[in-house]
Structure 1
Amino acid sequence: MDKKTIKDIEVAGKTVLVRVDFNVPRNKETGEITNDNRIVAALPTLKYLLAEGPKAIVLFSHLGKVKTEEDKAKNDLAVVAPRLSELLGVDVKFVNCTRGAELENAVKEANNGQVILVQNTRYEAGESKNDPELGKYWASLGDVFVEDAFGSVHRAHASTAGIPAHLPSAAGFLVEKEIAYIGKAVSNPERPMVAILGGAKVSDKILVIENLLKIADKVIVGGGMTYTFMKAMGHNIGNSLVEEDRIEVAKEIIAKGGDKLILPVDSVINNAFAETGDIKVCGEDVPEGYMGLDIGPKSVENIKNALAGAKTVIWNGPMGVFEMEPFAKGTIAVCEALANLDDANTIIGGGDSAAAVMQLGYADKVSHISTGGGASLEYMEGKVLPGIAAIDDK
């Protein structure tokens, strides 16, 4: 990696600003954190920085979408401070503002590595616009900047790209790891390389599929977007999900992909979007009144054969509606196939596929689970990510 990491910078006695990703899921009724994975993911970087003897560590993160006063109340970052304090084993001071005397004094008076968590960056209207004044203001609070929020590096925001424009900067361990795994898989994969892309919409994955067809030895498609491809090939799709405005694009991808592109040849279908009903397996044509909700057994076998001997696998998006038990078999089969690969670099690209791998109990059987769905997708598209581009080169 040609970007500086926290081991390349001096932080002793300095105020270190860290962009973390504490955009944690919470219970809608109680507001309590339901999954602290994103807080846990930040711990290696924060523990390393604390051991280096900084004056203070100031943490910036967004939480949810903030457009109204009601959104502000709902997405108050105060909920994170006690959990972070517990996991980190040190006092975490929460500052209930994003600028002004209270924040400035808290930073100025901090010492002995005091950890300060700043209120939700999206309370500032200029955050998502990458307001230069806001980035400069936040930068004025510290001496050095560490980017460790991979889930946000695809956005040019004041806290991701604005702050490092004014300070020496480096990648934290989480961002370094993401670049090492996904970056290598996309730019210099060990072969054979196989990409598996699922999920509902072709529109979300067009650029990824096109880029990976140039890089991978095989590209496997599953999930809801299957039926846009099936319709493009002239098959009946019944009531299955389809993006009519993407059928021509699907035809172009099929033509470009040739033998590299592997599409499902059968589906698990139902006459309702539900766990009960007339559930059965059909071939490439879905009968009227039915919808495809998972890939079928022949498609599973084709995926297993395509993965045999693979040395690099990127997977983004489930094969079916895995949340419903009758339609989880395709996704489970992919999990099992990846778990059984010998000496392969297996990367799960965030989002629903990461949720599936964790929910189905395969998290410790893969090489890397990305913490950023959108960021990992854009990385796979071959895009420059603003938050990574802003980090100082070595």
Structure 2
Amino acid sequence: MKAKLAVSALLIGQGYSNFLPALPHDLNKTTWAFWDYQQSSLAVLPGQFNRSAFDAPWDGNSSDIEVKAVYESLNSTQFVAYDNKFFDIIGSAAAVEHIQALAHQSHEAACYIPDLHKLFFVEWGPPGGNNGTHPWQYMLDVNTNTLSKVQTDPPTINAHGCVYFQGSMYIITDGTDGETGYLAKVDPITLKRETLLNNYYGQPFAGFNDLDIDSDGNFYLTDSKSGWARDIVPYTPPTNPSTYFVNATTMRPKVIQTTTGNCNGVAVSESGSIRTVYLPNTGVSEFKPVSKKNPYGQREIWAYDFSAPAPVLTNPRLLNNPISYFYDGIRVSRNGWIFAGAGDGVDVIDPVTGLTLGTIRVGGGDNLAVTVAFGEHEIWIVGRGGVWHVSNVKETLARTW
């Protein structure tokens, strides 16, 4: 055993020249790693190896001592690149810091308010709150790293998603006992809440999971079975999980996508007159009668063209299946890169090829990245274990609307 540890330490010191390719000269090898399939030793691994679809590559098993040492090294990094594009997006000055250590349960709805320098987010579901029910949310002052609990007026119960748009927070909820899920507008200063939508022609929503807003102010809402599955709401979902388009002028809702899996995150990208909607399917998570992750369930991102002004999704295409875990909250940056919470970290995905370009890690262990919020050159990651801040990102991330 001592001999194996000595060899492992030697390999770490050598930087795995037989396995991991060289990094650009301005990147710190203790912070960065590059998994490049052009490196033949990574394309054809020696010995026996295995991992679950839910484990990150560096959490895999290997009978080869050198591969084990490579995994050790990868597991100590903040950024793992799979493509040269990732270096250009993130840049050499970026760093990840765990700024708020919270319980290892779901934290969601990251929503950055640039004028106030505050980050809104929520603790969602059991075991927290009152049997999983939360009438309060978090507000983080990012200048002082001061975390406070806040309550809207009237209280917003079981908030699940949030987007900041033109001076207001738009929040969706799962609902609770006696109250169906709804879309609300909240003033970030006074925290006054106005409910905008709570039904589809008299039919209650199952429980909203996430939302996005396009540059015209239209809403894209994912209605999932997660609240019912975690016993946050007592009623059985009235339909299969669905995505709704809501016209900002008329507030008229329309179903634009359904699934027998589960709806989760949603992101809208715009390039000139071209609008694309990204939807991850998380049917991989099964809850009743037994809570489990089914590796044969859906865990992919689909891309759709949005045929404005008609609210119709066309040209569906499987964009990406995650390297590990499944995609939860997703957001699109100013230049169209897709950032998706994927367990061990946030994956950055090319919107054209669908390739995963790299992962921004949240430290491994029980930490899980769920969703993100963008500043100009910074990212806040919210998930199980709290909040992480990614500073000094090279590209401009925040959208123009």
TM-score higher than 0.5: no
Q: Output the TM-score relative to the length of structure 1.
A: 0.32
Q: Output the TM-score relative to the length of structure 2.
A: 0.31
Q: Which protein is richer in helix relative to its size?
A: 1
Q: Which protein is richer in strand relative to its size?
A: 2
